[in-house]
Amino acid sequence: MSDNNNLVFGNTNYKLMLLGIAVLILGFVIISMDTAEYGFGVLGLWVGPIVVMSGFVIEFFAIFAKKKADK
């Protein structure tokens, strides 16, 4: 086995990806918690979608963050 680490993403990228997935799941749970008919309440129309979009933004940064060089 060689000491070369040829992974595309670094540890920070994977941690950000997991955080983004958790935020996405949280957003969909918030949307499902809306008690208004057909999801037309504040949670279903405003809070949940904003949390979901922030999860996608975190995923975007997780993919495009540069991998730190090993010392």
Provide the pLDDT for residue 38. Answer: 86
SS3 71: coil
Query: pLDDT tens across 20-44, in order?
Result: 999 999 999 999 999 999 889 999 9
CB burial string 36-66: b at 16+ within 10 A, e below? eeeeebebbeebbeebbeebeebbeebeeee
Residue 60 has a pLDDT of 97
CA 61 to chain centre: 9
Res. 4 pLDDT band, cuts 50 70 90: low
Q: What is the pTM of this model?
A: 0.85
